[in-house]
Amino acid sequence: MDDGEAAKGSCLSILLWPPFSALLFGVLLFLGLTRISFSATSNENRQYNGTLAYLFTPQVLQWEKEIQQWASKLNLDPNLVATIMQIESCGNSNAISPAGAMGLFQVMPYHFNANEDPYLPETNAAHGLNYLSAALEKYNGDVGMALAGYNGGINGASRPQSEWAQETIEYKYWGENIYADATAGRQSSQVLEEWLAAGGASLCAQAQQHVAVVR
């Protein structure tokens, strides 16, 4: 999430850098690409009775209570909040991107006050989702454009799409399609599987590891 001049670099972007290509290949090979336990569609025995779409990965669904609360405060669709969290951090409150974006919603450091903890979920969500709300207002509720604004900056997304960073183009594609599947009540999302295969699986592995350490 950025103010508009350049894409902020979501946590996923580190996985696409050349120095990490070998590591990414190994992780995906080990996890079997999209047929992994982090995929909401591959765990047939997992029980879930919540109100978020079933298709999100378990690392995101575990935040359902908080997602509902945060969404209610800003009159946002909880499934849209979950979509942002899915792509940004896969539910890892300790995530950090190469550009320095932090926490569940990958918020840049300059959005926080000096006395705030950027990794505190409530604080991170407040700044990230306020920015999302501003993007939705700017683009008259157009979710795809709001997602582009969240990644590339509200002002940046106003430029012609031919001038967008590739990351922003992909972010909009992943986000609006995962969200569309969620709002349609689908049990799975092919685009979410694509995101996992493109590096999201490693983010989810990091999120799972962080949860294990915290617990």
User: Which amino acid is present at 166?
Assistant: Q
CB of 101 closer than 8 Å to CB of 8: yes
CA dihedral 7, 134, 54, 123 (to 10 degrees): 80
- Tens of pLDDT along 36-90? 444 444 444 444 557 899 999 999 999 999 999 999 999 999 999 999 999 999 9
Question: What is the average per-residue pLDDT within 30-38?
Answer: 41
**Which domains can be identified in the chain, with CATH numbers?**
11-214 (1.10.530.10)
Q: What pLDDT band is residue 116 in, cutting at 50, 70 and 90?
A: very high
CB of 82 closer than 8 Å to CB of 199: no
pLDDT over 70 at 18, yes or no: no
Tokens of 174: 């992943």
Distance CA 133, CA 92 (A): 22
pLDDT over 50 at 4, yes or no: no
From residue 118, how far is each of 11, 83, 99, 112 by CA, in Å? 15, 20, 15, 7
CB of 6 closer than 8 Å to CB of 101: no
- Tens of pLDDT along 85-97? 999 999 999 999 9
Q: Which residues, 6+ apart, have CB-to-CB distance to 143 below 8 Å?
A: 80, 136, 175, 176, 179
User: For residue 104, what pLDDT is reported?
Assistant: 98
Q: Is 114 exposed, middle or buried (0-12, 13-18, 19+ CB in 10 A)?
A: exposed
CB of 175 closer than 8 Å to CB of 12: no
Distance CA 78, CA 72 (A): 8
Mean pLDDT of all residues in the chain?
A: 84
Cα-Cα-Cα-Cα dihedral sign, residues 207, 61, 56, 13: negative
Q: Which of the residue ranges 18-27, 63-72, 150-159 would you say has the lowest mean pLDDT?
A: 18-27
- Tens of pLDDT along 118-138? 999 999 999 999 999 999 999
Which of the following is catalytic: 44, 64, 88, 170? 88
User: For residue 179, what pLDDT is reported?
Assistant: 98
Q: Which helix (H) or strand (E) holds 27?
A: helix 21-31
In sequence order, the β-bridge partners of residue 102 are: 96, 107
User: For residue 28, what pLDDT is reported?
Assistant: 43
User: For residue 31, what pLDDT is reported?
Assistant: 43
Question: What is the average per-residue pLDDT within 9-18?
Answer: 53
**DSSP three-state, residue 54:** coil
- Catalytic site residue 88? yes
